[in-house]
Amino acid sequence: MPSRFGKYTLIRKLATGGMAELFLAIQKSVAGFEKLLVIKRILPSMNQDRAFIEMLLHEARVAATLSHPNIVQIFDVGQTDGQYFIAMEHVHGEDLRSIVRQMKKKAVLEFPLEHALAIVLGMCAGLSYAHEKSELDGSALNIVHRDISPQNVVVTFTGDVKIVDFGIAKSDSRVGEATKSGKLKGKVPYMSPEQARGEHIDARSDVFSTGVMLFELTTGKRLFKGQSEYETLRLICEREYPRPSDVRSDYPMDLEPIVMKALAKDVSQRYQSTREMQADIEAFVRRHQIAVSHIALNQFMQSLFEDKLAAQKEALLQGKQLADIIEMQHAMTSASELDVDASGQRVTSTNSMPAAARTVTDVSAQAHGRRGGLVFGIAAGVILLGAVGGGAGYMLVKKKGDDDTKASVPVAAPVKGSIVVESDPPGASIWINGDLRAEVTPATIDKLPTGVALDVKLTMDGFEHAKQDVKLEGSEAQKVRLELKKGSVVVEVSVSPEGLSPVFTLDGKSVSGPRIEGVTSGVSHKLVVNAPGYVDQTVTFTGSAMETKRLDVALEKAPEKHVVPVVRPTGPSGPAPQPPQPAGSGKLNVGASGGWCNVTVDGAPRGATPVAGIELSAGSHRVTCTTAEGKTQTATVNVPADGTARYKFTL
């Protein structure tokens, strides 16, 4: 370094991963044209994987067609000297993960709501543009980002929001569909349920990931954080999701439905596009007159990174001088200003360069060790990485001296404590400081901080939430035992027209009605009412403690279907007449709390929990759950036509 790579000058290597190496580079041309960018050069070992190269380059070419203020631009895709590369926009800003870390250093406790909404609105705008992008002939590209996460959303120091790494996006066009290598994956805590299960995904998967980001930015809490990737996947696919108001009691009431609709497990209940989500957020902003502004976001970034920006200004100035000298060297070499050595080979002569050029080059080489590469640190801020090490993200070019100083300071290991959480009845979900744990009661939870207040909350369907504040002192385990009381809300449902025999389903489970007791207060519930010959009606409600909630549900006649009568044989030898089955088909999702089990439906094996999207005929089905120890539970589940039934076994 520095060196030429085609029409680019590589100034500094930024990182090397399992698939590619990244460089800060400058492109120069006539009339003083120069552009700072990032080159992602595919490693020689990956050049042998033709399926990977074809897939990556195709998707990069697709991403290069995207031109939007909220998307980092890909400028060039090609090959130089047998090495494949992608040239990408250099972004002067910080990703959301770095911003949150800097906020902690500055003792900024909450992410300002107006800035959180500005960031999510920028994300929605960029994703909507990409999702709706078409080929020149008008056919849809069906682009899905697949990796919306804090590392891939950058806020520039001018207050702009940029989505990065559309270079690993999926499209349905030609070879891009065949991602055979399986090397490009999203980050587990931000995957949609369908992506986590390895199912087909579309733009609604990006909607879910954006919903996770909105939840975390506006509550300050992680949504899915298990002790391992497997536990995190279980949280996404199997467990109930917290509502923002469970984490923050002062959460805006009309923002919560937007978050929860984006986080719907059933894709048909989710926002069908980021454009719809963007429209609802914009309406919320107008309704509450929230000062969402690029200028305000710019000022927020400037205040957070004031010290870093001053250092970057000096680095950029010196980097510009170095780039000029590199270009001068290349021009002199191209003009054949070469010497010949004793063997007759033509070599570059340092003495043939101007004195100023020699001075800066020599000083730069000597100063590199003691200044930690400041001259080469043109991108001392965030530099676009892009799919390094199987993922994507940004890196901060730091001074080596700082790292050495930090490494030399001994840091005492913090004292960690543990709690034993029990409940009556057992099987409750455990929340600590607003974070849903993977364990259920009874459970021992280790590696908890001591000397600080811990908010322990237990939840279970049909029971009121139970809470207790705990402060751990020392490493000895502390016991927390809470009694869960039956839900205190009573729901009385009035169904019209009269004389029907309605069936009630509350939160995916069949209940007896029209009076439903034991409903949890302070939580949003979904009641589905159906009756033979009528269209299902869904009502969403929330009840207060000890409240009797009265709901009026009017059912409408279903369109009549022409049924061909079937003549059945009669007499003693004929089969007994069977009751009519509902027409159509639906889907069934089966989960388990407190462990896992193998699922069979009507005697047919369906795999281990969680199992989702089982297509069945509408009507009753027998579902069996068998644990590894051979214990068996059986339930009868009614699958609605054109709907999804959900059942969870408690092990």
Contact between 71 and 163 (Cβ < 8 Å): yes
What is the distance between the alpha carbons of residues 462 and 510, in angstroms, rounded to a whole number?
13
Residue 274 belongs to what H/E stretch?
Answer: helix 274-288
Catalytic residue among 49, 81, 137, 147: 147
The answer to whether the CB of 308 falls within 8 A of the CB of 241 is no
CA distances in angstroms from 556 to 493, 515, 540, 585, listed in the order given: 16, 21, 18, 21
CA dist 197 and 381 (Å) reads 36
* Cα–Cα distance, 127 to 163 (Å, whole number): 8
Amino acid at 612: A
The tens digit of pLDDT for each residue in 597-618 reads 778 888 777 766 777 778 888 8
Task: Please provide the DSSP assignment of 434-492 as one string.
Answer: TEEEEEESSEEEEEEESSSEEEEEEE-TTB--EEEEEE--SSS-EEEEEEPPBP-EEEE
Q: Compute the distance between CA of residue 265 and CA of residue 187 in angstroms, rounded to an integer.
A: 18
Ranges in the chain, pLDDT < 50: 173-184, 320, 333-409, 566, 573
Phi-psi map region of 599: left, alpha, beta (phi>0 left; psi -120 to 50 alpha): beta
Contact 228, 135 (CB under 8 A): no
C-alpha triplet 488, 492, 497: angle, nearest 5°: 165
- Give the burial string for 550-584 (b: 16+ CB within 10 Å, else e): eeebebeeeeeeeeeeeeeeeeeeeeeeeeeebee
Nearest to 214 by CA among 283, 261, 156: 261
Q: Which two tokens stand for residue 268?
A: 């048909």
What structural domains does the chain harbor?
A: 92-304 (1.10.510.10), 306-362 (no CATH), 416-483 (2.60.40.1120), 489-554 (2.60.40.3070), 585-650 (2.60.40)
pLDDT at 203: 93
Tokens coding 76: 């060039």
Local structure of 169: helix, strand or coil:
coil
Non-local (6+) Cβ contacts of 504 within 8 A are 493, 510, 511, 512, 513, 514, 516, 527, 528, 529
Question: Residue 255 gets which letter from DSSP?
Answer: T
Give the residue from 607, 610, 599, 604 showing the smallest Cα distance to 634: 599
413 DSSP 8-state letter: P
Nearest Cα neighbor of 436 from 212, 232, 260 is: 232
User: What pLDDT is stored for residue 357 in this prediction?
Assistant: 32
- Return the residue matching tokens 């940004």: 394
CA pair distance 350, 367, nearest whole angstrom: 19
Q: Provide the pLDDT for residue 138.
A: 80
Q: Which two tokens stand for residue 296?
A: 């305000």
- Give the pLDDT of residue 349: 36
Residue type, 162: K
Q: What is the pLDDT of residue 264?
A: 94
Cβ neighbors of 593 (< 8 A, separation 6 or more) are 238, 239, 427, 429, 440, 648, 649, 650, 651
Q: Output the DSSP codes for 40-102.
A: EEE-TTGGG-HHHHHHHHHHHHHHHT---TTBPPEEEEEEETTEEEEEEE---EEEHHHHHHH
Question: What residues are paired with 470 via a beta bridge?
Answer: 454
H or E element at residue 376: none
Contact between 127 and 206 (Cβ < 8 Å): yes
The DSSP line for 529-562 is EE-TTB--EEEEEE--TT-EEEEEEE--BPPP--
**CA dihedral of 524, 211, 650, 631, whole degrees rounded to 10:** 160
Euclidean distance between the first and the last CA atom of the chain, given in angstroms as a whole number: 60
552 is known as an active-site residue = no
